[in-house]
Each structure stands twice: as C-alpha cells, then as structure tokens.
Amino acid sequence: MTERASRHLRRDASSLTIGPSAMRWADGVLTIDIQELALPWPRPVRGRVRIDTGPLHTWSTTLDAAGRHRWGPIAPCARIEVDLDAPALRWQGHAYVDSNDGDEPLDRGFRTWDWLRAPLADGSTAVVYDVRGRNGEERVVARRFWPDGTSADVETADRRPLSASTIWRVARQVRCERGERPGVLRTLEDTPFYARSLVRTGLCGQTVEAMHETLDADRFASAWVQALLPWRMPRRW
C-alpha cells in the first residue's frame, strides 16, 4: 500500500486508478492491476487479481452507537484468481470484499476490535465484528451472508482468548461456540498494532477455518508507532 496525493487519483463509474495501479469493474468481475514497491526492503509487487463477485450485497450497519463508523460486505461469497509476476505467486479460492467508512479516525472511536470471516459448508459466509469502543461501549455484529444476496443475524458465540502475536505481542481474541477449542493456525501479518491470522473456531454449528484480524487502535495512535509508519508505507505526494 502506498499513500498518494489526490493528483495521482483518477476515477469514473467503472474504474479507479491510484498511481500506477488500477481496478476496473466489468461484467461482474473486478480486475485489479498492481504495480507497487514494497517496503522496508524495496522490491516490486506486480501482477493481476481477478474477483468474480457473484450477487452484490447492500446490507450495512454502524459499528458504534454514534453512527460515525459504518461497515457492510459488498461481495462476501466471491471467488478470486491471483496471478503475480513479482513475487511469482498464483492461486485461486474463496474471496471477500467489503467496505468501511467513517466520519472520524478509527482511533477516536475504538480501542480495539477483533474481526473474522469464515466460509461455511453451504457456500455462505459468516462475519463477526467484536468491537470495544473508546467510550467503553462494546458491540458485536454477527451475520451470515448467502451467495444469492440474502443475509441474517446469527447467534453471538462466547469471546475466547487466542495466543498473542509472535513478534509484537498483539492480544487476540475470537468468538467461539461452546464445545469448540479455538486456536491460531497461522499468523499472516504481525505488526505493532495489527495482526491478521488464520484461526480455527466454532461458528454457526460448524468447526471452521476463518480469516481473523485484531486492531489495537491505542497502539496505532501512539507516537512510536506513528513514527514507524513511513518505513512500511511509502508516500508519493
């Protein structure tokens, strides 16, 4: 990800270009062309991603009582094809596209959150947002999305601790139904304020492998983390 000034942005009804990278929408397929530079060790990230979205979803909700932060899945039951030249990486599988927007920075509204999404046996996708607000408010959004565009709330499972991330010791938690033993299968991203992981948990009466993330907004807002960000996220103004 590269932060870029508005002069590097172009968009119309079916495409969005940011610097040398772009995405375009046509016939139910989102095609993303990537041409970026990774940091802190400079190396190219170059290739194409295609997402077959299936029926689009319009359901959305607020994540806080004041309604300043909103979330909604766009294509929770999609399929993806990844074809990268650098690094040489090709795979395909289940995909998920959603949208977050807000009227203030995340660290003003939240202290931490845990999120997960899990593909279920019937082709549907379950998503759980477990949010702890800056004002002490706690909110859980648990919903199941089907490939035909319908969705429904699901029963909230118990909050269980997971092991902290290996390097930066980010505290992780997950919602898990009774009788199941949650655990981290693999940590995919480990940063001072964020961890993305593949976890095992129990949801909707099934044992599932889920994509999981933890955001520690207190750490993100700290001066030492803010000083580190330019080393990981290049800026082109």
Residue type at 40?
A: P
CA proximity to 50, closest of 33, 30, 69? 30
Residues 169-201 pLDDT 10s: 999 999 999 999 999 999 999 999 999 999 999
| CA–CA separation, 37 and 184 (whole Å) | 30
Q: Give me 142's structure tokens.
A: 């648990």
Domain 3-236 falls under CATH 3.30.56.10 = no
Count of other CB atoms within 10 angstroms of residue 202: 21
CA proximity to 85, closest of 35, 17, 23? 35
Average pLDDT, the chain: 95
Residues 53-104 pLDDT 10s: 999 999 999 999 899 999 999 999 999 999 999 999 999 999 999 999 999 9
- ∠ CA 76-209-59, rounded to 5°: 20
Residue 164 in this model has a pLDDT that exceeds 80: yes
| CA–CA separation, 170 and 214 (whole Å) | 8
| CA–CA separation, 60 and 67 (whole Å) | 12
| CA–CA separation, 202 and 214 (whole Å) | 18
φ, ψ at 6 (rounded to 5°): -60, -25
pLDDT band at 50 (very low <50, low <70, confident <90, very high): very high
Longest CA–CA span in the chain (Å) reads 54
Residue 1 in this model has a pLDDT that exceeds 80: no
- Each domain of the chain, given as residue ranges in start order, spans 3-236
Q: What is the pTM of this model?
A: 0.92
Give the pLDDT mean for 138-150.
96
